[in-house]
A and B are shown apart, each in its own frame.
Chain A
Amino acid sequence: DGGITQSPKYLFRKEGQNVTLSCEQNLNHDAMYWYRQDPGQGLRLIYYSQIVNDFQKGDIAEGYSVSREKKESFPLTVTSAQKNPTAFYLCASSGHYLSSGANVLTFGAGSRLTVL
């Protein structure tokens, strides 16, 4: 079955450490996204990528970095510069941004990061 796989599901980090969250999709989607969700809050866009080897900052990119070396993969690194990294992180993908397939985002199951 096609879908998006995020790993790990739960991650604990000490202050000052960088961590990388994995996101892999086998939907042959061009675009991929990372969102952050805080308790009781909506979704805030961190980074997105419309095509391989290209990505754009979202609304809250500070303290995060991404890469898009392969169509299937869009890892997110939470750096030590992120002041409040404890949150639920969601990866999503969609069709090409100019196509009707871009209308619908498919989400992964999320990764919960806790900073100790």
Chain B
Amino acid sequence: GQQLNQSPQSMFIQEGEDVSMNCTSSSIFNTWLWYKQDPGEGPVLLIALYKAGELTSNGRLTAQFGITRKDSFLNISASIPSDVGIYFCAGRENAGNMLTFGGGTRLMVKP
């Protein structure tokens, strides 16, 4: 079945630093999504990507749909304490396929 490798598994950074995380898949995806999960809550959609090479921003967050269509990247600039949480990537091959989720990146920010 599908596999999404998300890295790093966890990050502990200083407030103000930039953050990068990525996901790679074993096959080509037509959709990439990035979610954030606050502690004890459900994941919330941050950014959706639908086209190879697409670069989309949402405030301090920027995500890219890799050219090979087998990877995606999420960057967070100038991190703040409320960025703490788990970030999940998710991808979908085609219509009719289920979303596949990465294992998550746990972000911790030191004030």
Residues on A facing B (Cβ under 8 Å): 4, 6, 40-43, 45, 48, 88, 90, 92, 97-100, 102-110, 112
Contact = CB atoms under 8 A, between A and B. Distances in A.
A6 B43 CA distance: 13
Q: Is the interface of A mostly helix, strand, loop or mixed?
A: mixed
B33 interface: yes
Interface residues of B, number: 24
A102 B42 CA distance: 18
Contacts of A45: 98
B101 A43 contact: yes
Contacts of A110: 40-42
Interface stretch (B11-19, B44-52, B56-64, B68-76): B44-52
A40 B106 contact: yes
User: Lowest 8 CB-CB distances: which A-B pairs, in order?
Assistant: A107-B42, A42-B103, A43-B101, A103-B31, A109-B42, A110-B42, A107-B43, A98-B95
A9 to B, nearest CB: 9
B65 interface: no
A17 B43 CA distance: 29
B80 interface: no
